[in-house]
Amino acid sequence: MRNDAPLVGVLAMQGAFAEHQRALEASGARTRLVKDLEDLEGLDALVLPGGESTTMTMLMERVGLLEPLRDAISRGLPTLATCAGMIVLARDVTGGIEGQRGMGLLDIAVRRNGYGRQIDSFEADLEVAGLGGKTFPGVFIRSPLLESTGSAEVVATHEGRAVAVRQGSILALCFHPELTSDRRLHQELVRMAGVGRS
């Protein structure tokens, strides 16, 4: 791994962070698991993985990471948010625990587990704007449902519903790219990280 490769942090409170780390390293990035405030220092980009959004938020609050993370993303840190990560960044969240709110950094409304339970998981070929070439294999597992996208740009849909959005330096997905062998979305984050450094 080149020493000048972008350094991408992967939030490691819980969830599928190890799979994201492997995908990023295969995409040419250096990686760091983010577990506390010090781990945010010097990052060129960030991944908020899938998992359980309420647990992730509570753990971030407990270690004093929630507000610094929110501040870093709001200042333009390139961020890939998948599944629960999308919920964490959302303006409005329904179907969560009483009083659950997102960070409000992404102008979307989401419904937790809007695509159903684990048994309702599915895969679909998606046309993702900007990736070019073949379709992307979308893996949907207890995925959030995008109910409105506000000012966020829709970059992929499934059966007429938005499943991926981009807003500023945030790319947010209802599905799990880390569970496929297709690295194009992780490569896009690495590209965004490189642009931010230049």
**176 catalytic per annotation:** yes
Q: How far is CA 95 from CA 21, 45, 145, in A?
A: 29, 29, 10
Assign residue 64 a region (left: φ > 0; alpha: ψ between -120 and 50; beta: otherwise).
Answer: left
Q: Tell me which of 20, 178, 186, 188 is the catalytic residue.
A: 178
**186 catalytic per annotation:** no
* DSSP H or E run through 93: strand 90-94
Burial call 188-197: b when 16+ CB within 10 Å, e when fewer: bbbebbbeee
Phi, psi dihedrals of residue 106, rounded to the nearest 5°: -120, 125
**19 catalytic per annotation:** no
Nearest one of 100, 101, 107, 88 to 147, comparing CA atoms: 107
Q: Tell me which of 19, 20, 83, 186 is the catalytic residue.
A: 83
Q: Tell me which of 20, 158, 176, 186 is the catalytic residue.
A: 176
Q: Which residues are marked as active site? A: 83, 176, 178
